[in-house]
């Protein structure tokens, strides 16, 4: 690392006016508008950085003193004493030999999105492409945070350690403490030429497509974890995770109880008496149903293995179809005569009170859920 005084061509005891005069002279000579040479541009950056440090009284004092000049024990002893201080007081004097500069690269944050799927997609699972607005790696600097052709520079205030040691007085006497360097913010390096695309962050906001395989058997509220699909961390750090919270859309015909599918079949009174065969549209294709003669409202027809594929484990649930017998409300004269003849021949018992039971819909619900 070049000495700032040598870069400006002045002595260490130079006055502020001499430093300013030297900088102006070199700036007029090396400025890119005057001198287009690549070497001149690099020297201009060094000259500007040296002037920034030496023109600030506090930074110049730290630079002249060196990163550990405040320590009466030297670099090694200060670390040992601060380790002892940490052991007794829980970290007040941290920053010893084991406490180096921190990395710019950090893990990115996790992301949470909500996706909606149809009930028929739940039966066997589905594939979806999800649009995610998140942080991605900067394609210009590839996470280095530096403009192309440049690299981070070792911090000349802390000497690359990322920390500044200071001596303070306490009840125990003089204690050496360590704090993050204010110039490099604890990184140990500074970036003289940040990437123009990401402004030195190593990442940019962008919209990308994430392919998702939604497994069969998911239900509303379930979260799917996709490791490494979240935000890219600062300075190209590892990505966080992406969580997808599932919502199953309402279906007009079918509902779900666990791994079973539920539906209601309206059966005409004559079909309930005589029985019939019919075909219904299942979520995964046609389903053949046999309605036995004498079927009653709230009876449940069970079709094995036509429900939802189980999320964990093999096999599928069942399809449960509850019967609802439909009584006609309007009859022609001839139809009424036929029903009257049936009533006379059947000799059914007169209506009478029966033991209390729930209504048909409550009974049907209990048959579904407690079958």
Binding region: 138, 141, 155, 158, 181, 184, 195, 198
Residue with tokens 């000259």: 47
Residue in 351, 141, 169, 329 with CA at minimum distance from that of residue 235 = 141
Q: How far apart are CA 224 and CA 306, in angstroms?
A: 25
Residue in 244, 249, 251 with CA at minimum distance from that of residue 115 = 244
Neighbours of 181 (CB within 10 A): 23
Task: Read off the tokens for 9.
Answer: 């061509």
Which residue spans within 275-348 are E strands per DSSP? Answer: 276-282, 285-291, 300-303, 319-326
Q: Are 259 and 218 in contact (CB under 8 A)?
A: no
Q: How far apart are CA 149 and CA 194, in angstroms?
A: 11
Q: How far apart are CA 61 and CA 57, in angstroms?
A: 6
> Taken in order 148, 152, 156, 157, is the CA torsion positive or negative?
positive
Q: How far apart are CA 18 and CA 338, in angstroms?
A: 121
Q: How far apart are CA 218 and CA 122, in angstroms?
A: 6
Q: What are phi and psi of 121, to 5 degrees?
A: -75, -25
Q: What are phi and psi of 111, to 5 degrees?
A: -125, 145
Q: How far apart are CA 151 and CA 138, in angstroms?
A: 15
Task: Read off the tokens for 196.
Answer: 């123009």
Q: What are phi and psi of 297, to 5 degrees?
A: -60, 140
DSSP secondary structure code for residue 332 in this structure: -
The annotation places the binding site for Zn(2+) at 138, 141, 155, 158, 181, 184, 195, 198
Q: How far apart are CA 213 and CA 197, in angstroms?
A: 33
Residue in 54, 140, 79, 119 with CA at minimum distance from that of residue 254 = 119
């Amino acid at each position: 690392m070049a000495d700032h005084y040598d870069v400006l061509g002045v002595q260490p005891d130079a006055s502020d006016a001499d430093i300013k005069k030297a900088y102006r002279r070199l700036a007029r000579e090396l400025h890119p508008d005057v001198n287009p040479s690549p070497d001149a541009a690099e020297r201009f950056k060094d000259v500007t950085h040296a002037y920034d440090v030496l023109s600030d009284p506090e930074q110049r004092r730290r630079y002249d003193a060196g990163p550990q000049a405040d320590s009466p024990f030297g670099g090694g002893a200060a670390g040992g004493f601060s380790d002892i201080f940490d052991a007794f007081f829980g970290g007040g004097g941290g920053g010893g030999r084991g406490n180096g500069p921190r990395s710019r690269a950090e893990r990115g944050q996790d992301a949470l999105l909500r996706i909606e799927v149809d009930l028929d997609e739940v039966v066997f699972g589905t594939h979806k492409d999800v649009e995610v607005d998140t942080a991605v790696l900067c394609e210009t600097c590839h996470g280095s945070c530096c403009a192309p052709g440049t690299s981070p520079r070792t911090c000349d205030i802390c000497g690359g350690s990322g920390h500044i040691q200071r001596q303070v007085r306490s009840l125990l006497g003089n204690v050496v403490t360590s704090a993050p360097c204010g110039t490099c913010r604890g990184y140990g390096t500074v970036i003289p030429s940040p990437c123009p695309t990401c402004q030195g962050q190593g990442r940019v906001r962008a919209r990308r497509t994430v392919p998702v395989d939604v497994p069969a058997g998911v239900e509303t509220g379930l979260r799917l974890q996709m490791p490494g699909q979240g935000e890219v961390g600062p300075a190209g750090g590892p990505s966080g995770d992406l969580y997808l919270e599932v919502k199953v859309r309402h279906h007009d015909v079918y509902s779900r109880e666990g791994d079973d599918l539920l539906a209601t079949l309206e059966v005409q009174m004559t079909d309930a008496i005589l029985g019939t065969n019919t075909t219904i549209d299942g979520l995964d294709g046609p389903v053949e149903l046999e309605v036995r003669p004498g079927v009653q409202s709230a009876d449940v027809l069970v079709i094995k293995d036509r429900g939802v594929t189980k999320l964990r484990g093999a096999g599928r649930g069942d399809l449960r179809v509850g019967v609802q017998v439909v009584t006609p409300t309007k009859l022609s004269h001839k139809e009424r005569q036929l029903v009257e003849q049936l009533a006379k021949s059947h000799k059914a018992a007169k209506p009478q009170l029966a033991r209390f039971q729930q209504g048909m819909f409550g009974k049907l619900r209990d048959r579904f859920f407690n079958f």
